[in-house]
């Protein structure tokens, strides 16, 4: 048996925490039983002598890679002066339970996270980078050892493009060009689970999955639509038409799951989709000849960052007003492609030429430029859940560069398949 405790959390200062999210995940190979207690401390002054437990939950957790290996207790009341969370684990897998407690405000904004003892017991083993290659394969990299775990073959001529992984890390969704479809990978076995056919001529490319994992949104470049997939049934739920000539090329979903932002290469706009109704909410015009490429949204949902390849800029959108907040100038010839934002929202990493440009998102200025090997031609970037490393798919030299984000330098260059293009990392315990 193991006991994990946040200790007393003083909640008397503003902004005040009003609710908690408690996440559990079994990172091991044996079952465990987990008890959750949320308690109030009285009086709130010195001493903290009286404790009242007001939430109790008992949860069985199956081994990693099987159903019900994770559990989330959401919207837990915490509008108290002093409170705490205690987690008790038992069973053969008791020491392999990863525990995260998130303090949130009334609007759902995360104020603080508590990673309790045991979080890193095995988590590095569970983080894998999935890389789509032009030679009809997907490379799987073990991010703990930075070694090749396996290669997943696709049918000849599939032309896998981009990839997104469900929040529980159980499945990877890969857009493919021949035929137009989305291929679903079971990440527990690293085999193809199914393929979801699209209408011919769709041209599926960019893909994003809602935070609850229930739907995948696919930007179809060729027929100017966005396809919505029901991930429970792996069938098409609906198709959202965009204006003719939009050529949607990038897509990102807000952390609350309520909106999808679509970067349209053809008509120099960003389309905002209401995901509750799957209808267009508004369209944000960009300057003429500002052909957007990639798009990413900050963890607090306040801003969307859009790369503009032909203008060597990044456009920052205020998502509250859906207007352009500012434009960040990049060095000439940068030709920015895809973009990823760190889990704490402090930096954006952009694939640019044979470099990665790092943006300070507080000041919206260039923090540094990281050189990559000559001839890299980076396309897409993925960042580990703890924000410590960024993985870059280099199309021209068939490698994946690993960046240490603490020093903003390349620490490894790993072999991939031919023409690696898309990359995503299993978001186990993505805070």
Q: What is the pLDDT along the chain (431 residues), one digit of tens a residue?
A: 678 888 888 888 878 899 999 988 888 778 889 999 999 988 665 544 577 888 899 999 988 767 788 888 989 999 998 999 999 888 888 888 889 898 988 877 777 888 875 433 344 445 899 999 999 999 999 998 899 999 999 999 999 999 999 987 889 999 999 899 999 999 988 999 999 999 999 999 999 999 889 999 999 999 999 999 999 999 999 999 999 999 999 999 999 999 999 999 999 999 999 999 999 999 999 998 899 999 999 999 999 999 999 999 999 999 999 999 999 999 999 999 999 999 889 999 999 989 999 999 999 999 999 999 999 999 999 999 878 899 999 999 999 999 999 999 999 999 999 999 999 998 753 33
Q: Verify that 378 and 288 share a domain, yes or no.
A: yes
Q: Is 121 part of any domain? A: no
Q: Verify that 107 and 141 share a domain, yes or no.
A: no
Domain span at residue 290? 127-175+183-189+266-425
Q: Dihedral through CA 21, CA 26, CA 32, CA 38, nearest 10? A: -10
CA angle 64, 65, 69 (to 5 degrees): 50
Among the candidates 115, 137, 161, a domain finishes at: 115
Tell me the H-state helices in 80-155. Answer: 123-126
What span, in angstroms and rounded, lies between the C-alpha atoms of 53 and 419? Answer: 56
Q: Verify that 21 and 135 share a domain, yes or no.
A: no
Element (H, E) at 132: strand 128-133
Q: Verify that 162 and 278 share a domain, yes or no.
A: yes
Q: Is 261 part of any domain? A: no
Q: Verify that 75 and 137 share a domain, yes or no.
A: no
Q: Verify that 103 and 33 share a domain, yes or no.
A: yes
Q: Is 80 part of any domain? A: yes
Q: Is 109 part of any domain? A: yes
Contact 25, 70 (CB under 8 A): yes
Q: Is 226 part of any domain? A: no
> pLDDT tens digits, residue range 178-190?
899 999 999 988 9
Whichever domain contains 142, its CATH number is: 2.130.10.10
Q: Verify that 16 and 136 share a domain, yes or no.
A: no
Q: Is 234 part of any domain? A: no
Cα distances (Å, whole numbers) of residue 208 to 28, 59, 105, 347, 419: 28, 30, 26, 20, 22
Q: Verify that 111 and 70 share a domain, yes or no.
A: yes
| C-alpha closest to that of 366 among 335, 337, 331 | 331
Q: Verify that 60 and 158 share a domain, yes or no.
A: no
Distance, C-alpha 305 to centroid of its chain: 15
Among the candidates 93, 115, 137, a domain finishes at: 115
Total count of domains within the chain: 2
Q: Verify that 80 and 35 share a domain, yes or no.
A: yes
Tokens 């199309």 belong to which residue? 395
Q: Verify that 381 and 273 share a domain, yes or no.
A: yes
Among the candidates 115, 150, 166, a domain finishes at: 115
Half-sphere exposure of 212 (CA within 13 A, CB side): 10
Q: Verify that 49 and 160 share a domain, yes or no.
A: no
Q: Is 260 part of any domain? A: no
Q: Is 231 part of any domain? A: no
Which residues are within 8 A (CB) of 185 and not within 5 positions of it... i.e. 6 or more apart?
A: 130, 138, 152, 171, 172, 173, 174, 191, 192, 193
């Amino acid at each position: 048996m193991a006991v994990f405790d946040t200790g007393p959390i003083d909640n008397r200062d503003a902004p005040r925490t009003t609710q908690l999210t408690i996440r559990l995940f079994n990172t091991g190979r044996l079952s465990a039983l987990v008890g959750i207690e949320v308690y109030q401390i009285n009086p709130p002054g010195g001493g903290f002598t009286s404790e009242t437990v007001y939430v109790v939950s008992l949860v069985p957790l199956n081994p990693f890679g099987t159903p019900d290996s994770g559990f989330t207790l959401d919207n837990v009341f915490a509008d108290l002066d002093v409170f705490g969370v205690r987690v008790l684990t038992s069973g053969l897998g008791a020491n392999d339970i990863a525990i995260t407690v998130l303090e949130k405000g009334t609007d759902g904004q995360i104020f603080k996270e508590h990673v309790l003892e045991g979080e890193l017991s095995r988590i590095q083993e569970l983080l894998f980078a999935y890389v789509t290659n032009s030679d009809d394969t997907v490379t799987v990299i073990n991010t703990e050892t930075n070694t090749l775990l396996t290669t997943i073959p696709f049918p000849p001529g599939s032309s896998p493009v981009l990839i997104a992984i469900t929040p529980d890390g159980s499945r990877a969704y890969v857009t493919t060009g021949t035929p137009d479809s989305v291929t679903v990978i079971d990440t527990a076995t690293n085999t193809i689970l199914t393929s979801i056919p699209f209408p011919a001529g769709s041209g599926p490319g960019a893909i994003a999955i809602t935070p609850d994992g229930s739907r995948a949104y696919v930007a179809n470049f060729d027929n100017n639509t966005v396809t919505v997939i029901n991930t429970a049934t792996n069938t098409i739920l609906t198709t959202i038409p965009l204006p003719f000539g939009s050529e949607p090329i990038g897509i990102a979903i807000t952390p609350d799951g309520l909106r999808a932002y679509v970067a349209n290469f053809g008509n120099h706009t960003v389309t905002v989709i209401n995901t509750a109704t799957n209808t267009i909410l508004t369209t944000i015009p960009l300057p003429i000849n500002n052909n957007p490429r990639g798009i990413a949204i900050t963890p607090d949902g306040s801003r969307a960052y859009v790369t503009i390849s032909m203008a060597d800029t990044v456009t920052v959108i205020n998502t509250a007003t859906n207007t352009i907040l500012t434009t960040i100038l990049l060095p000439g010839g940068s030709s920015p492609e895809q973009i990823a934002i760190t889990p704490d929202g402090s930096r954006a990493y952009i694939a640019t030429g044979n470099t990665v440009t790092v943006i300070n998102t507080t000041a919206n200025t260039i923090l540094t430029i990281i050189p990559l090997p000559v001839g890299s031609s980076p396309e897409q970037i993925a960042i580990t859940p703890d924000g410590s490393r960024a993985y870059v798919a280099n199309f021209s030299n068939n490698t994946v560069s690993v960046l240490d984000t603490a020093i903003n330098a390349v620490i490894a260059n790993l072999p991939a398949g031919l023409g690696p293009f898309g990359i995503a990392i299993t978001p186990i315990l993505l805070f």
